[in-house]
């Protein structure tokens, strides 16, 4: 791997250049983090996490690898946060303690959620330097970076893009966005500022590619609210609704709908309560009536209750999953109840969500979910909105961001169909060092990048090799062979997930293993070699006898 070269001093006549270094969120959706480097200064944008896929067994969270930032810690001058979603701030409790104490800029709700998250990890306010900004503010980070925050609509309040001014030129980054013309808070995206930046000259545009395959426009949050109200108004029994806990606008709309429909709201789930509490404290959520606890609804009729709960992604320990499988301590679903899933599954979660939905049908409740019911809208813009931003920004260079390769490539193709396409577009991946100047836009090297797995209290102590072992054990089982050498050599065999109890097969395995051990002892081999011989002999026998390939663990007890 090559390290990014330092920009040549301006007095040599070389054009000043900026290095754009995505460490997460490029070529994927999740764990967003980007570094900008100009000469001896680095600025960071976001520090998110991702959630594990089904094959990443036992993993709780995935955070970006930050070796490059740690190696260049003395150059880091600050960080900005675009918004409060987990894929943009969820990595902060793991990342900030590994970096110098730097100023971290973000809007009110974003920093409120960050403080709540850091406190869960025992990180006190005095240990971090959080600085609140308004979404029109300009801040200087180091000598070379000036950041202007710009409002962009999304599925959470206080969402920002930014205009980054550097000696090499201007970078416009949309952040996550859609161009909602009827946002719940009435605050639309600042397209006038993007247009002005385009007239002044945008060297590089980084833009959200999540929905680059979708034609048209993304539905407004107002459309979702109207559809939810129509649906809830026609339901006679209890309503259970789940959505992303961070979708503050939608939850506020549901609270208002419940009030108009004479229903009291019960908030269920730790993350749902956390987001609601922070949003209320900072003035982003208003309650016509206080929330009720689940044990306070006894005197109400079914048509007077609406539960807002976690579980939109089928998480096993979420409220909706526990309700679906009858494991909730205080609430039981019954016929006549209705469940609304106001969300789409994140890629990789489809199986878990479908499992919950099927279980809900088996119970006999009514289930409403997209696309059959229009009770969800993405927080990301579709092709018309992406084209609008490209047309207004008029960038010289274009870097599709926040999406898998298919999203990036379709975004790039869309850009080429416009009246004024970018001069050059790059499809980048995490770890690329992208050199940017007035006359140059190319990948010049790479830095370490990738995934760090969080499993329980362990951070980074699980690698792909361990995950492969877990997958193999789940598919083929595990076979443990213990050879005890004294007083007389013998072998014990324990298997899990391999085959049903089978004395004949166990006896054959013990015999094969013991023969290998005894031969090794006769030949006076090292114990390590005896163990390897036992492993190889049993491996060959098991494959021939069963056609299976369990994980083998050979042990020698001298």
377 annotated among ligand-binding-site residues? yes
Q: For residue 185, which of 223, 137, 226, 222 has the smallest C-alpha distance?
A: 222
- Contact, 356 vs 311, CB < 8 A? yes
- Tell me the C-alpha distance between 252 and 286, whole Å: 7
Specify which residues 122 forms β-bridges with. Answer: none
- Contact, 515 vs 526, CB < 8 A? no
Tokens representing 373?
């019911």
379 annotated among ligand-binding-site residues? yes
107 annotated among ligand-binding-site residues? no
- Tell me the C-alpha distance between 323 and 331, whole Å: 7
CA distances from 435 to 201, 269, 399, 402 (A): 18, 45, 12, 19
- Tell me the C-alpha distance between 290 and 276, whole Å: 12
- Tell me the C-alpha distance between 130 and 103, whole Å: 6
Q: For residue 217, which of 414, 382, 375 has the smallest C-alpha distance?
A: 382
Please tell me whether the peptide bond between 371 and the residue prior to it is cis, using omega within 30 degrees of 0. yes
- Residues with Cβ within 8 Å of 254's Cβ and at least 6 positions away in sequence, in order, are 228, 241, 243, 265, 306, 308, 342
CA torsion sign for 19, 24, 28, 32 is: negative
Tokens representing 446?
């790479």
Tokens representing 62?
């995935």
- Reduced to 3 states (helix: H, G, I; strand: E, B; else coil), residue 403 is strand
380 annotated among ligand-binding-site residues? yes
Q: What is the 3-state secondary structure (H, E, C) of 111-179?
A: HHHHHHHHHHCCCCHHHCEEEECCCCCEEEECCCEEEEEEECCCCCCCCEEEEEEECCEEEEECCCCCC
Burial 355-367 (b: 16+ CB within 10 A, else e): ebbebbeebebeb
Tokens representing 399?
């870097």
Tracing tokens 């850009």 back to the chain, one arrives at 415
- Contact, 296 vs 245, CB < 8 A? no
192 annotated among ligand-binding-site residues? no
Burial zone of 489 (CB within 10 Å; 0-12 exposed, 13-18 middle, 19+ buried) = middle
- Which amino acids are annotated as binding site, given as ranges? 376-380
- Which amino acids are annotated as binding site for substrate, given as ranges? 376-380
């Amino acid at each position: 791997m090559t390290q990014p070269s330092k920009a040549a001093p301006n007095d040599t006549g070389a054009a000043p250049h900026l290095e754009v270094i995505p460490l997460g969120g490029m070529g994927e959706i999740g764990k967003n983090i980007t570094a900008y480097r100009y000469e001896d200064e680095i600025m960071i944008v976001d520090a998110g996490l991702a959630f594990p896929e089904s094959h990443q067994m036992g993993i709780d969270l995935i955070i970006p690898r930050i070796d490059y930032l740690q190696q260049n810690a003395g150059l880091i001058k600050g960080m900005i946060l675009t918004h409060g979603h987990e894929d943009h701030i969820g990595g902060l409790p793991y990342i900030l303690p590994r970096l110098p104490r730097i100023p971290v800029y973000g809007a009110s709700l974003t920093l409120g959620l960050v403080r709540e998250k850091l406190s869960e990890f025992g990180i006190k306010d005095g240990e971090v330097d959080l600085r609140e900004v308004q979404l029109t503010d300009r801040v200087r980070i180091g000598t070379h970076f000036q950041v202007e925050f710009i409002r962009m609509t999304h599925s959470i309040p206080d969402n920002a893009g930014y205009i980054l001014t550097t000696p090499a030129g201007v970078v416009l980054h949309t952040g996550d966005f859609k161009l909602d013309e009827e946002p719940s808070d009435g605050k639309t995206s600042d397209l006038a500022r993007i247009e002005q930046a385009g007239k002044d000259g945008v060297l590089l545009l980084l833009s959200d590619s999540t929905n680059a395959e979708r034609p048209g426009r993304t539905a407004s949050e107002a459309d979702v609210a109207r559809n939810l109200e129509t649906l809830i108004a026609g339901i006679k029994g209890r309503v259970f609704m789940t959505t992303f806990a961070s979708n503050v606008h939608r939850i506020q709309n549901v609270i208002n709908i419940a009030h108009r429909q004479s229903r009291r709201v019960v908030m269920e789930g730790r993350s749902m309560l956390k987001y609601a509490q922070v949003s209320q404290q900072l003035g982003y959520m208003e309650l016509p009536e206080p929330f009720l606890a689940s044990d306070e609804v006894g005197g109400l009729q079914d048509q007077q209750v609406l539960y807002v709960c976690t579980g939109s992604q089928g998480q096993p320990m979420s409220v909706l999953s526990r309700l679906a499988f009858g494991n909730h301590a205080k609430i039981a679903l019954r016929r006549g109840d209705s469940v609304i899933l106001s969300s789409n599954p994140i890629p990789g979660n489809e199986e878990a969500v479908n499992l919950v939905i099927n279980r809900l049908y088996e119970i006999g409740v009514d289930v409403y979910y997209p696309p059959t019911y229009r009770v969800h809208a993405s927080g990301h813009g579709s092709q018309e909105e992406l084209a609008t931003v490209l047309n207004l920004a008029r960038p010289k260079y274009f870097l599709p961001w926040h999406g898998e390769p298919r999203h990036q490539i379709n975004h790039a193709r869309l850009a080429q169909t416009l009246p004024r396409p970018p001069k050059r577009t790059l499809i980048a991946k995490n770890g690329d060092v992208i050199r940017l100047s007035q006359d140059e836009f190319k990948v010049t090297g790479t830095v370490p990048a990738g995934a760090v797995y969080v499993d329980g209290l362990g951070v980074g102590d699980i690698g792909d090799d361990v995950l492969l072992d877990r997958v193999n054990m789940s598919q083929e089982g595990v076979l443990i062979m213990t050879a005890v050498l004294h007083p007389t050599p013998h072998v014990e065999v324990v298997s899990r997930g391999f085959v049903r109890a089978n004395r004949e097969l166990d006896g054959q395995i013990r015999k094969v293993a013991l023969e290998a051990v005894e031969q090794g002892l006769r030949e006076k081999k090292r114990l390590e070699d005896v163990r390897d011989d036992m492993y190889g002999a049993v491996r060959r026998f098991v494959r021939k006898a069963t056609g299976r390939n369990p994980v083998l663990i050979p042990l020698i007890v001298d």
